[in-house]
Amino acid sequence: MKTTNENIEFGLGDRYKRNPFKVPEDYFEGFEARLNNRIKVQQRLKSKSLFITYGKSIVAIAAMLVLALVLTTIQFPNQFKSSETIALAENEELNNSIGQGFMSNLSDDQILAGIAESDQMEPNKITTDNLTNYIADNSSDYEIISNN
């Protein structure tokens, strides 16, 4: 094996310096065109991806706003009841004229007697369901809200 100052010559010399690899016909001639196509496709994909990225951001912000709205509704339900009902409930003059609803002016015995009469039942056999139904039939939303 020869040695020189610059490098160590491989024992086989130039025997193996021949390039054993080949390329398909006209490969280099067509390379530039294929490369240009690839660059164009990449630029188109880049524009598309920017559009999708911005679109996703907008959707994400909208979703967050909806979620915030839903959470606020759950936490503060009274904020979203009918404005008319709330206005009526808060109206002091109306409260006074109706007398805060007729239910509050009746005694428990009177209420039970009313239920028994309407359902043709004995007062001592009135169930919770009977009572609930009686109140629902004989009170307005206003009266229920204002009593809460």
In the complex with other proteins, the residue whose CB is nearer, 17 or 125, is 17
Asked if residue 20 binds other proteins (CB under 8 A), the reply is: yes
Please state, in angstroms and rounded to a whole number, the distance separating the CA atoms of residues 121 and 123. 6
Binding region for other proteins (CB under 8 A) out of 9-17, 50-58, 60-68, 90-98? 9-17
Which helix H or strand E contains 41, and what residues bound it?
helix 27-75
**Hey, what are 102's tokens?**
């007729």
Asked if residue 30 binds other proteins (CB under 8 A), the reply is: no
In the complex with other proteins, the residue whose CB is nearer, 8 or 74, is 8
Please state, in angstroms and rounded to a whole number, the distance separating the CA atoms of residues 26 and 7. 37
Look at the chain and count its residues. Answer: 148
Identified binder of other proteins from the candidate list 2, 4, 16, 122, rule CB under 8 A? 16
Least distance between other proteins and beta carbon 21 (Å): 6
CA angle at 104 for the pair 101 and 108, rounded to the nearest 5°: 140
Asked if residue 10 binds other proteins (CB under 8 A), the reply is: yes
Tell me the residue type at 91.
Answer: N
Least distance between other proteins and beta carbon 47 (Å): 14
In this structure, are residues 146 and 95 in contact, taking their beta carbons and an 8 Å threshold? yes
Identified binder of other proteins from the candidate list 2, 24, 26, 96, rule CB under 8 A? 24
Asked if residue 48 binds other proteins (CB under 8 A), the reply is: no
